[in-house]
Amino acid sequence: MKKWMLGLLCVLTLVGCSIGKDMTNTPTKKVEAYMDSYQQLDDSVLNDIDTILQDTKYTVEQKSRYKELMKKHYKDIKYEIKEEKVNGDRATVEVEVEVRDYSKILSSDVIPDELKDEEGNYSEEAYYDYQLDQMEKAKETVKYTLTFYLTKENDDWVIDDLSESTKQKIHGIYIY
């Protein structure tokens, strides 16, 4: 009797583990985990910010401001899964995201007069400070519908590399 119950317990444990994996191994769950990683500021997200900042002309203080700005941005991302389509080992997941819209600030080529000297020149550092000030004040949001493409590899769904425009939309810096 004990062997029979032990065997049943082992079978139930194995079934439970495989069901648990199957429930998290869907295209939708993978995209949710990806989007949640931004909201939860996972290490990979923070490392990506640091990598981006390495290639900027920002001062140390500006880099710190930008990082804090993006952390707040990522925590505030709202998303909703709209649709999942699976076709064999390929899948798409449509997601509506709502993010703070920094595109108008970043695309503006208007330089306030107070940043210019008597000859009409301006300090790049002062301009970056101004731009960060504007980004910190930004309240306007924008919604995008994004399509994530996934491929099943070794029974595990993997998100394909995102397009540059999809990344920019998530970061709120997409310029039309």
Q: What is the pLDDT along the chain (176 residues), one digit of tens a residue?
A: 444 333 333 333 434 444 445 678 999 999 999 999 999 999 999 999 999 899 999 999 999 999 999 999 999 999 999 999 999 999 999 999 999 999 999 998 888 888 888 888 888 999 999 999 999 999 999 999 999 999 999 999 999 999 999 999 999 999 87
Q: Yes or no: is domain 26-171 CATH 1.10.10? A: no
Rg (CA), the chain: 23
Q: Helix H segments across the chain?
A: 2-24, 27-39, 43-54, 60-75, 103-107, 124-137, 164-171
User: Which candidate, 111, 106, 169, places its Cα nearest to that of 142?
Assistant: 169
The answer, as to whether pTM is greater than 0.85, is: no
| Rounded CA separation 164/176 (Å) | 13
